[in-house]
């Protein structure tokens, strides 16, 4: 399998979409490109066109303690080696376009991200819970609850 090259992918994305690619080098073991939510679907289309074989390994989401108003979302791909797309969303209105029309295997990952982090995925009919009970009413478990003043 042909080895992945981050620069080739950045050039491909910039040529086909005219988006500027910013590389995030914080993750040991994977190359990461920082994009904006509205760029997600076009960039994924470019990725799927660019590789003979490429799969979505996971959607990783996290909220950092030092940036509590923000959620970080990683779309982790693998094509000979690993690479990720990184997006930052406001925690109060975390919205992303669903990608299940192009990558149907993302269904479970989106459902998990929705129930665990409260992300709303637009463009899909419904986002039923994946792991939590149907009657779960305590909010997304991974989002830090704001302390009440007074």
Partner 1 sequence: MDKISIPIGPQHPLLKEPLSMMVDIAGEKVLGGSLRLGYVHRGIERLAQQRTYVQNVHLIERICGICSHVHTTAYCYAVEALLGIEIPPRAQYIRALMCELERIHSHLLWLGILAKHIGLETIFMHTWHDREMALDIMEEISGGRVSHAANQIGGVRFDLDEEHIDMIRGILKKLHSQVDGLVDIIETEPAAMARTKGVAPISPDMIKAYGVVGPVARASGVDIDLRRDAPLPPYDQLEVKVVTHPGGDAWARTFVRAEETRVSLNLCEKILEDLPEGDVSLRTPRRVPEGEVIIRAEAPRGELFYYLRSDGSDKPARLKVRTPTLATLSLLPVQLAEINVADIPVVLAGVDLCIACADR
Which residues of this chain interact with partner 1, rule CB under 8 A?
Answer: 1, 26-30, 53-58, 60-62, 64-65, 74, 76, 78, 80-82, 84, 103-109, 129-133, 141-142
- Which residue, 90 or 105, is less far from partner 1 as judged by CB? 105
Question: Tokens 């679907």 — which residue?
Answer: 41
Provide the minimum distance between the beta carbon of 135 and partner 1 in the complex, in angstroms, as a whole number.
12
Provide the minimum distance between the beta carbon of 27 and partner 1 in the complex, in angstroms, as a whole number.
5
- Which residue, 137 or 149, is less far from partner 1 as judged by CB? 137
CA-based torsion, 80, 107, 122, 95: positive or negative: negative
In the beta sheet, which residues pair with residue 95? Answer: 120
Instruction: Give the integer Cα–Cα distance in Å for 6 and 12.
Output: 10
- Which residue, 19 or 27, is less far from partner 1 as judged by CB? 27
Provide the minimum distance between the beta carbon of 23 and partner 1 in the complex, in angstroms, as a whole number.
14
40-50 helix and 6-17 helix, angle to the nearest 10 degrees: 120
Provide the minimum distance between the beta carbon of 28 and partner 1 in the complex, in angstroms, as a whole number.
4
Kindly provide the b/e burial profile for residues 106-144, where b requires at least 16 CB atoms within 10 angstroms of the residue's own CB.
bbebbbbbbbbbbbebeebeebeeeeeeeeeeeebeebe
- Which residue, 28 or 145, is less far from partner 1 as judged by CB? 28
């Amino acid at each position: 399998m042909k080895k992945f090259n981050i620069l080739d992918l950045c050039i491909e994305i910039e040529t086909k979409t005219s988006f500027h690619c910013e590389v995030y080098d914080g993750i040991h073991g994977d190359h990461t490109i920082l994009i904006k939510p509205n760029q997600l679907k076009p960039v994924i289309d470019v990725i799927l066109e660019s590789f003979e074989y490429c799969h979505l390994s996971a959607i990783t989401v996290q909220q950092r303690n030092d940036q509590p108003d923000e959620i970080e979302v990683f779309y982790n791909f693998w094509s000979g080696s690993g690479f990720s797309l990184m997006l930052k969303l406001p925690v109060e209105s975390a919205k992303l376009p669903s990608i299940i029309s192009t990558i149907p295997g993302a269904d479970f990952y989106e459902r998990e991200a929705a129930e665990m982090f409260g992300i709303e995925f637009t463009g899909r009919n419904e986002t039923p819970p994946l792991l939590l009970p149907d009657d779960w009413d305590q909010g997304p478990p991974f989002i830090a609850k704001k302390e009440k003043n007074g």
